Structure 1
């Protein structure tokens, strides 16, 4: 157990190698010296470990707030990971883990889950992760996972999917982001159900011509259809992927036309 400690200006705050049934809780792990990713380690770093419990920690100023590589059956709960130089939380080859009720605020990017399976992500806040290439949540080659009841607010890209398959996105809130979801063409069999998309510049974007994913019963604030039978579901299908968002994905300089008459005309023409 590592509990109720203060770690200041260390290269690595806590480093665990081949750990088993470790508890890390109620620690404050901060650094004001790190100026670059190359010159800093992680706040909490675990490698080839299992059943690691990371609870109620505050982590700031490191490369990654929490980094897990080849870690299984672990639980990350109620941590605050803020103002880190790369990711608030970073998984690599880490299966069967859960993170719940954490806050990832103002990191270079919120959370990256890479080359992992069966990850549960529930009730977290991904906020204020802004900048070129910044994401609230990056999913790279991940499958069989659940993302539920999370808040994605004020991120450049709320969720970016690359090689992600068979993931359930359920009852998440996407608000005031540049992009709600960016889904690469190599992502398939994902389900996006009962989520709210509010005041995002683009709700959904892709780099391909075919989206092999399922969108159902979501709320879209850009919807302009009607509901004649008042059952709470629009009678005209909504298409969240606009032609303009596709053009921006292919040629970012087209973003210069945002909120111009040309784009308004393009949007209206699509709906005819």
Structure 2
């Protein structure tokens, strides 16, 4: 005789246990569910930027020789030379750098590394040198290897997203763009098939007057590149903050990304590291797609509640580690779709609409030592089988009441964050109004203690007794 169906078993278990549970109150701690409190998080970003450009005529100096236009100065530079800029340049066409190992920098600023900047380094006259593209095509093309752009404001590229109009176009290996400002642009910095590029401590601001984010360009575009380093940049008002397309072994760390479609967007990019970045107030925080071997470590995704609303999305992602991230106040904390053999560990997942949403056969993940708290739904599992996330040590579930009899920090009774009740309400949505009723609490109790049916969903065999994280820091209340 086969096992009963999930619906039949649900009815039988509820009927059998309602009598036994009569007079019993199932207490749920207040930290188990969201309270509607605002998330207390300050990413340290401005509402708007108020940059003031110099009107002084541009002067470029190369080895003591002065030029009143940028292109002739760059043509005169030899490998290893420094081109120092003051004032404003208004080139009539894209300025192209063809000489390798040339440095282009603010004449009044100290050498890079002498001061810490925020993409707003200004020299002794208080203003950065400006290269203005007048709204046509690319502004500055760094086509030679080893070129450095340091402390320069590049702005006003063309408006044609289909033509990839960019403020800074990089087509040379080993190029560095640092401590610079890129504004009023479709694409900010486009790296095109160039390896070993470094983009450090820049501010990239797109065009917020283009209302649809999908019609904008990306802040930083990494196309067919390898071994790039992208760090300490601030990116806003673009389509995606950092976009990867066939970009391998890229390390991106300590970037701040806000008011975007996706803070970070991977496509067909393998073996990359994403470390200690902050994505706040975007449609989605980190969108990982069609890639493998990623390391997603120590990042923060807060209040990403737009059209897709994911804190971290894994779509067709395999063999990837998602560890030590804070995913708070998003529509979905983690969305895992058609992804296999990933490790999701040591993350704080709190205050989201759904803590984790599993879909499309994502059934071979290792999920452990995470803290799930204050999510409206801890786990939503659109899967056709029961998924065991772990066997030796699981996750902390606020309100689950895991009982640790032997004091090893791990509960002895399994927990079903997505099981029989979710299966039934998925099949019969009208039953959702009863999910907080005593009958459904009895069913949940039965799933822990009398597993008569293995309904599709998620099971945590060894839930943690204490939370690895303190989520209360994200809420405006004393604790």
Q: Normalising by the residue count of structure 2, what TM-score does the alignment of the two structures yield?
A: 0.53
**Structure 1 residue 244 displacement after superposition:** 4.2
Question: CA-atom RMSD, angstroms?
Answer: 2.0
**1:230 to 2:230 alignment:** no
Higher relative contact order (CA 8 A, sep 6+): 2
**Aligned partner of residue 365 in structure 2, secondary structure:** strand
**Unpaired segments ≥5 residues, structure 1:** none
Alignment correspondent of 1:92:
267
2:298 to 123, 137, 144: 123
The CA distance in 1 between the partners of 2:445 and 2:419, in whole Å, is 10
Counterpart mapping for 1:1-272 below 5 A = 1-31=176-206, 32-84=208-260, 86-215=261-390, 216-246=393-423, 257=433, 263=437, 265-272=439-446
Once the two structures are superposed, what CA deviation does each residue of 1:165-187 show, in whole Å capped at 9, x if it has no partner?
11011111111111111111411
The CA distance in 2 between the partners of 1:249 and 1:135, in whole Å, is 21
The CA distance in 1 between the partners of 2:403 and 2:318, in whole Å, is 36
Once the two structures are superposed, what CA deviation does each residue of 1:117-169 show, in whole Å capped at 9, x if it has no partner?
10000000011011443101111111111111100000110111111111011
Equivalenced residue count is: 268
Go from structure 1 to structure 2 and tell me whether the alpha carbon gap of 1:253 and 1:131 turns closer, same or farther (over 3 Å shift).
farther
Moved over 3 A (4+): 242-255, 260-265
Bigger-Rg structure (1/2): 2
Once the two structures are superposed, what CA deviation does each residue of 1:46-71 show, in whole Å capped at 9, x if it has no partner?
11011111000000111101101000
Q: Normalising by the residue count of structure 1, what TM-score does the alignment of the two structures yield?
A: 0.92
Decide which moves more: 71-80 or 132-141.
Answer: 132-141
**Aligned partner of residue 230 in structure 1, secondary structure:** coil
The CA distance in 2 between the partners of 1:195 and 1:103, in whole Å, is 19
**Unpaired segments ≥5 residues, structure 2:** 1-175, 447-479
Go from structure 1 to structure 2 and tell me whether the alpha carbon gap of 1:234 and 1:151 turns closer, same or farther (over 3 Å shift).
same
Once the two structures are superposed, what CA deviation does each residue of 1:18-38 show, in whole Å capped at 9, x if it has no partner?
011000010001133231034
